[in-house]
Amino acid sequence: MFWIVTPSSPSIFGPPLDVYRISLLIPLLLVQVVHGVTVHVYIYGGQADALLYTNGSIIYVNGNQTLNVPNSTLEVYVESPLPYTVFINGVQTDNLSLSPWRHDVINITVRPVIFQFNITVKGPGTVVVKFPNSSQVKVNESTSLQVQEGTLLTITVNPRPGYTVGNWSNGFVGNQVWYMVYNNTNITVYFVKSPPTVRNSPAISYSGLGLLAVLGGVYWFTRRK
- Ordered per-residue pLDDT tens for the chain, 225 residues: 434 444 444 444 444 545 545 455 444 444 444 457 899 999 998 888 999 998 888 999 999 999 998 888 899 999 988 788 999 999 999 999 998 888 889 999 998 899 999 999 999 999 999 999 999 999 999 999 999 998 999 999 999 999 999 889 888 888 999 999 999 999 999 999 988 776 665 655 556 556 555 555 555 556 555
pLDDT at residue 22 in the model = 47
pLDDT at residue 217 in the model = 59
- CB burial of residue 48 (10 Å; 0-12, 13-18, 19+): buried
Give the up-direction half-sphere exposure of residue 16: CA atoms within 13 A in the CB hemisphere: 7
pLDDT at residue 136 in the model = 94
- Report DSSP letters for 17-56, one per residue: --HHHHHHHHHHHHHHHHH-EEEEEEEESS--EEEEEETT
pLDDT at residue 33 in the model = 46
In the beta sheet, which residues pair with residue 154? 130, 178
- CB burial of residue 168 (10 Å; 0-12, 13-18, 19+): middle
Question: What residues does each domain of the chain span?
Answer: 38-109, 114-193
The answer to whether 153 and 179 have CB atoms below 8 angstroms apart is yes
One-letter amino acid for residue 16 of the chain:
P
pLDDT at residue 45 in the model = 87
The answer to whether 142 and 120 have CB atoms below 8 angstroms apart is yes
Taking the C-alpha atoms of residue 163 and residue 123, their distance in angstroms, rounded to an integer, is 9
One-letter amino acid for residue 15 of the chain:
P
- What strand order describes the sheet that includes 95-98? 57-61, 49-54, 74-79, 95-98
Q: What is the CATH number of domain 114-193?
A: 2.60.40.1140
